Structure 1
Amino acid sequence: MAAHRCNFPALVFILCCLSVFIVADVQETTPVSEPDGTAVNNPQTVLTSDPQTAADTGEETPEEPLVEEKRWEATEVEAATPDDAPSDSQAASDPETVVSPPVPQSKDDFQEELVIRPLHSDDIYASFQFRTLWDTDFMGGNKVSHYRLFPKSLGQVISKFSVRELHISFTQGYWRTMQWGQPFLPSPPGTDHRFLRYATLPREIVCTENLTPWKKLLPCGSKAGLAVLMKSEKLFHSSFHSQALHIRPVCQDWQCKDTSWELRQTLNVVFDLHTSGQGKREWSLFKMFSRTLTEACPLASSSKIYIDVTDNPQGEQFELSPATPLLSQAVVLGDRRTYSVYDLTQQATFGSTRSLNMLLRWKSNDENSDMLRPLLHSERYVAGYGLQTGEIHTLMYNHHPYRAFPVLLLDTVPWYLRLYIHTLTVTSKGKDNKPSYIHYQPSKDRVRPHLLEMLVQLPPNSVTEVTVQFERALLKWTEYTPDPNHGFYVGSSVISALVPSVVAMNINDTQERPLFSSFFPCKEESSYFVRVYTEPLLVNLPTPDFSMPYNVICLTCTVVAVGYGSLYNLLTRTFQVEEPSPGLAKRIANIIRKMRGVPLL
């Protein structure tokens, strides 16, 4: 009986320890959700291979892993099973071991990734993304004094001014949608500050002074990880360059009881094959960034490189080396894409050289290969002649063959272009297309711009044109830029829409699949949200002849310098008569006469 009394407390103690481990494991694998409640770790199928398997069995691991060794696993399984977490079976098999509760770790997290997509124009698109999660709540009045991964400079600003969201982007160049497709993160040319609405500086110069403080916000800076590739001489010598910073609260679970602060730093670059100075149709990390990768950021929980190989299923378009056995599939912008994945946290990724320099070499010489056109595309230009009146034309293309969808057009026009809103026309396929919603806020001179917002239905396979007339205002001579003949820039229009997914689109439903399959709904997303920016406008305004003021200033300065300068010189100058200095012989004689006490000569 005494033995049973002694074993019962020990059994209770072991069960309590096991429950602590189970609860801790569940808390660590809770996915971080978006504000709408969807989890970030979407269930995607990933083709992986364990690089440690060959080392454990004693086999030699080749420098380039073979593609035949691939196997499919779920993404959540890899993230939900930490390497250092003890299993329940091990804890239960050793009853004599006293297991202490795990030390609570910080929930701050940092992830980095690079997505490389070869374009059909032989150019290449590189997209960096750095994500920092900060588990804190300073909106409730709590004072934050500890910063581990989140930059302190941004945290202090958010805490002091109670910022809920912050979005800033710097963009140089124009994204060519018809040649490059849709970008992962669209942004207008110039500087973009969004607060409820948005405002732009369409001709803001982007330089290294913008990139250097942006890199300092990263936990590892530019010393380790993917940020090592960010060499300003290469990034700014490109066809398109856009860097952005996004801060927002995100949910920690699907119920959104607790929130964390998310900082996303993105950098998108398009390298042109012709301007890069290389004749061969091949790209590598060294040719793009003049650097290679040697290690991941030590503070990053995930560091990966994704290469888009959707259009290269059998390797007939280009060759990728070194090969990787890790593949991933995802639905991006309504299209199913396949990526080759390089995990920088695995030492086997760098091979024996301890350096990673991926190479893409094109095999096919067909530069005009077929490319899936984006379903939504937009253009804008200024029409008319003279310097009094003109027209702004905005073209919105719907390339979907049989589906129509609405778009929200937001246009901000400076006050010196006085819009005639009664001339607003919307046409589609030669017919009037009446918007279902129009909001117009007139401008005030030198106070606020015009604000035009409308909801337009785009018919399938059509071009919708929005036209409005304007009159050019005559500015004061002090309001002109240093180079008025260059013109004045007008910010981009913003087009937001829910575009039908390409995955769910099938034109020949009755010919390519059985009839009974139409009863089953599509599992993929039926539509996705996209925001499109048009190119900025360059408008000339009535400009006075600035040569006459220049001549008047030059003449006035000449008169002041010659007339007043000469008179002032005569009034302030003093005249003195100076005797000529005696000769050397006379000075010597005076010295001798002074010594003898004789009067000087």
Structure 2
Amino acid sequence: MFAYRLRLATSTIVLLLVLGLSQSITQVLAAPGLTNYTEHLTLQPLPRNSLLTTFTFESYSIPSTDPHGTSLEYAVFPRSLGQILEQSKTQELHLRFSQGWWDAENWGSPPEQGKYSGGLGVELWAWVEGEDLSAAKANWRKLVYTLSGLFCASLNFIDDATTTFPVKSFQPFGVVNDQDGSKFYLMRGALPREPVCTENLTPFIKLLPCKGKAGISSLLDGHKIFDAQWQGMAIDVSVECNEDGCRKKMTQTINAVIDVARSIQRKVSPVPVPTDFDKLRCDTTKSYNSQYHCFPLKESTDVDWLLSDIFGRQIQGSCPLAENEHHISIQTPETWNTAYISTSKSADDGSESTFISQEKSFKLEQDVPTNIRLNSHDSSKISSSPNQPVLVERSFTGHGLERGGIRSTFTNPSRDTPVRFVYFESFPWFMRLYLHTLQLQSQSLLESDEILSEQENILKDIYYLPAVDRKQPSQLEIEMILPPATSASLTYDFDKAHLFIEEYPPDANYGFDIAPGILTTINESDEPQYTIRTTSLLLQLPTPDFSMPYNVIILTGTVMALTFGNIFNLLTKRIVNEEEAEEIASQRPINQYIAKIKSLLEKRGSTNS
């Protein structure tokens, strides 16, 4: 009886402690000014029936007096990532997962002026603390190894041979405090060949407080996000300081340009099948139009979309920790109709009621499934987005596998405003650049003006760090001022180095991906305005015939077998005549035994006869 009462009292105390702890945690999370979490979804139609979706999540830790923002109380800030930053002594972190190509000519400027966009593959840069460069590199290696395991990516392949140290191209988002004697190093690495898939999205969602179960994160489905024409995931961790102290801020962003027609078709038919003839949109005015010849028409501009048809699910209410006023915004002109559809159940009889609103900014309700409808009779009329201040193209020049060149073309479409920018490129060590071959050619875009700008008026500063074989990549940063309505082409040559056979990837004939270049426009105060990334390049190196080792092994083995067999026979055998060979053979034990058996059989046969 005493033991039963003791167990009952113990369980009661534990229950009270748990309830008190949960209540205190709830009070801490709800206390204004201590922690904060916001999430927001922006929908914007693009040309050719595409839809730009931007998911933004911001999480904050509890302020502390530490100038580095280190705190033992993370609140909604993910502890798993916070401990990695503390162990690797990282002050600010930026991680990008991107796939596809942003069409600047048709879509305009990327979201947030490219602040949260990345190049093809995986890109990482961070401010890492260290007493000297070797200590900072050790912390950098610790950072990339742990992030590789956290996000299921091959970040562990970022080593000294792929790490660069930008000087002008990257600016911190928050406070990088070195007033207390700390020394920070900016390091960057990129893996343009790294594929981005669902195994990278799952850890991304787990960092959110609602884990994709509620709020706008409930729309995130890898099959829909990674089927987009262009998509990018970004994680940015910085430190913000004010009168209350310093705290860490994490911004998680997902941008995706979705082909709505293809996404809806995938829902109707998960397995692609040919379109029926009666559903084809053919131009009947063509003379050759028939049952067997069809000239396709442009996509229909009369559209009616449901968010659940595009993402395959509705929004499962709001995240209880989201504190912002509006959770969803739609950027459409007046020719588009928008509807916010929420369905709630009555607590009395369980009946469902539907609420429809025509607003373009919505606030989600908790535990209320929500859908959004977009329809228009002319989907070609969309909200105008600002154009990029600079258009940049990059390509290889030359031919052959011994040497080559790179041409980067910059175009300022404005007719009255010059553009100042910093262009950053990094190349692997097996691309041996020749800086003395750098040439700049500029030309005016106005037909009436054929005067070419002088090189001194465009090139302002050049920073070049040469590569070291198998230890350090080459790094090139160029500051330029491009006059209005001017196009400038930057060219330079390089040699292709030979690799050891074990340094080639399994599919060596595919080539080597070269990381995109990064263009950052800056104002008069040296503050970044736009960030633009070029496409990646595919480099072909001299590739050996990997079948030759196999052929050599087979040929060598065959020759050795034939040679050894003949020599062995000559050394262990001797040549004799037939009579001597028969006599030697008859003296063998087995032959004598066979002879005895034959003689016995012959005797029995003669006796029986």
TM-score band (shorter)? 0.5 to 0.7
Deviation at 1:194, TM superposition (A): 0.7
Deviation at 1:563, TM superposition (A): 13
Task: Within 5 Å, give how 1:518-597 maps onto structure 2.
Answer: 529-553=529-553
Task: Within 5 Å, give how 1:28-39 maps onto structure 2.
Answer: none
2:419–2:482: 8 Å Cα contact kept in structure 1? yes
2:52–2:257: 8 Å Cα contact kept in structure 1? yes
Q: What residue number does 2:402 align with?
A: 388
2:307 is the alignment partner of 1:307: no
Matched residue type, 2:122: T
Which one of 233, 236, 248 corresponds to residue 261 of structure 1?
Answer: 248
Judged with a 3 Å threshold, the aligned counterparts in structure 2 of structure 1 residues 242 and 372 are, in CA distance, closer, same or farther, namely closer
What SS class does the counterpart of residue 544 from structure 2 fall into? coil
1:414–1:449: 8 Å Cα contact kept in structure 2? yes
String of CA shifts for 1:14-59, please: whole Å, max 9, x gaps: xxxxxxxxxxxxxxxxxxxxxxxxxxxxxxxxxxxxxxxxxxxxxx
2:93–2:125: 8 Å Cα contact kept in structure 1? yes
Judged with a 3 Å threshold, the aligned counterparts in structure 2 of structure 1 residues 364 and 387 are, in CA distance, closer, same or farther, namely same
Q: What residue number does 2:19 align with?
A: none
Q: What residue number does 2:350 align with?
A: none
2:469 is the alignment partner of 1:445: yes
Matched residue type, 1:343: K
1:241–1:270: 8 Å Cα contact kept in structure 2? yes
2:34 is the alignment partner of 1:107: yes
Task: Within 5 Å, give how 1:105-184 maps onto structure 2.
Answer: 107-137=34-64, 139=66, 144-184=71-111
Deviation at 1:130, TM superposition (A): 0.4
2:239 is the alignment partner of 1:249: yes
Judged with a 3 Å threshold, the aligned counterparts in structure 2 of structure 1 residues 460 and 109 are, in CA distance, closer, same or farther, namely same
Task: Within 5 Å, give how 1:194-209 maps onto structure 2.
Answer: 194-195=125-126, 196-209=186-199
Q: Give the alignment's Cα RMSD to 1 decimal.
A: 3.2
Matched residue type, 1:385: H
What SS class does the counterpart of residue 164 from structure 1 fall into? strand
Q: What residue number does 2:488 align with?
A: 464
2:232–2:254: 8 Å Cα contact kept in structure 1? yes
Q: What residue number does 1:492 align with?
A: 516
1:399–1:460: 8 Å Cα contact kept in structure 2? yes
Gap runs ≥5 in structure 1: 1-102, 327-339, 501-524, 565-601
Matched residue type, 1:290: G
TM-score by length of 1: 0.63
Matched residue type, 2:536: P
Q: Which one is further off, 262-271 or 553-562?
A: 553-562
Matched residue type, 1:191: V
Structure 1 ranges of 4+ moved more than 6 A: 140-143, 367-371, 525-528, 556-564
2:62–2:74: 8 Å Cα contact kept in structure 1? no
Cα separation, 1, equivalents of 2:529 and 2:427: 25
String of CA shifts for 1:147-201, please: whole Å, max 9, x gaps: 4311111121223333210111111112121122222222111111113253210
2:230–2:257: 8 Å Cα contact kept in structure 1? yes
What SS class does the counterpart of residue 358 from structure 1 fall into? strand
Cα separation, 1, equivalents of 2:102 and 2:493: 27
2:69–2:248: 8 Å Cα contact kept in structure 1? no
Judged with a 3 Å threshold, the aligned counterparts in structure 2 of structure 1 residues 441 and 144 are, in CA distance, closer, same or farther, namely closer
Matched residue type, 1:199: G
Cα separation, 2, equivalents of 1:374 and 1:105: 39
Cα separation, 2, equivalents of 1:209 and 1:360: 31
Cα separation, 2, equivalents of 1:113 and 1:563: 77
Deviation at 1:384, TM superposition (A): 1.3
1:499–1:530: 8 Å Cα contact kept in structure 2? no
Paired residues, what number?
411
Matched residue type, 2:327: K
Deviation at 1:141, TM superposition (A): 9.7
1:122–1:367: 8 Å Cα contact kept in structure 2? no
Cα separation, 2, equivalents of 1:142 and 1:407: 32
Q: Which one is further off, 377-386 or 486-495?
A: 377-386
Which one of 417, 421, 425 corresponds to residue 407 of structure 1?
Answer: 421
2:109–2:387: 8 Å Cα contact kept in structure 1? no
Q: What residue number does 1:226 align with?
A: 216
Judged with a 3 Å threshold, the aligned counterparts in structure 2 of structure 1 residues 108 and 374 are, in CA distance, closer, same or farther, namely same
Deviation at 1:284, TM superposition (A): 2.6
Q: What residue number does 2:123 align with?
A: 192
Cα separation, 2, equivalents of 1:481 and 1:490: 14
What SS class does the counterpart of residue 356 from structure 1 fall into? strand
2:390–2:419: 8 Å Cα contact kept in structure 1? no
Cα separation, 1, equivalents of 2:382 and 2:250: 39
Matched residue type, 2:421: V
Deviation at 1:557, TM superposition (A): 8.0
String of CA shifts for 1:203-243, please: whole Å, max 9, x gaps: 10111111111111111111111110011111111111211
2:420–2:480: 8 Å Cα contact kept in structure 1? yes
TM-score by length of 2: 0.62
Q: What residue number does 2:362 align with?
A: 342
Deviation at 1:416, TM superposition (A): 0.8
Matched residue type, 1:542: P
Deviation at 1:464, TM superposition (A): 1.7
Cα separation, 2, equivalents of 1:527 and 1:168: 21
2:99–2:121: 8 Å Cα contact kept in structure 1? yes
Task: Within 5 Å, give how 1:10-21 maps onto structure 2.
Answer: none
Deviation at 1:144, TM superposition (A): 4.6
Matched residue type, 2:544: P
2:420–2:522: 8 Å Cα contact kept in structure 1? yes
Matched residue type, 1:443: A
Deviation at 1:369, TM superposition (A): 10
2:309 is the alignment partner of 1:287: yes
Cα separation, 1, equivalents of 2:503 and 2:44: 44
Judged with a 3 Å threshold, the aligned counterparts in structure 2 of structure 1 residues 422 and 150 are, in CA distance, closer, same or farther, namely same
2:380 is the alignment partner of 1:356: no
Judged with a 3 Å threshold, the aligned counterparts in structure 2 of structure 1 residues 554 and 119 are, in CA distance, closer, same or farther, namely farther
Matched residue type, 1:341: S
Which one of 393, 404, 415 corresponds to residue 379 of structure 1?
Answer: 393
Deviation at 1:127, TM superposition (A): 0.8
Which one of 237, 241, 245 corresponds to residue 227 of structure 2?
Answer: 237
Cα separation, 1, equivalents of 2:121 and 2:545: 29
2:207 is the alignment partner of 1:217: yes
Judged with a 3 Å threshold, the aligned counterparts in structure 2 of structure 1 residues 119 and 251 are, in CA distance, closer, same or farther, namely same
Cα separation, 1, equivalents of 2:558 and 2:327: 67
Which one of 298, 301, 320 corresponds to residue 338 of structure 2?
Answer: 320
2:425–2:516: 8 Å Cα contact kept in structure 1? yes
Cα separation, 1, equivalents of 2:314 and 2:218: 8
Q: What residue number does 1:422 align with?
A: 436
Matched residue type, 1:427: Q
String of CA shifts for 1:340-361, please: whole Å, max 9, x gaps: 211114x7xx9xxx43221222
Once the two structures are aligned, what percentage of the paired residues are identical?
32
Matched residue type, 2:212: S
String of CA shifts for 1:101-131, please: whole Å, max 9, x gaps: xx96661110000111111232111111100
What SS class does the counterpart of residue 263 from structure 2 fall into? coil
What SS class does the counterpart of residue 485 from structure 1 fall into? helix
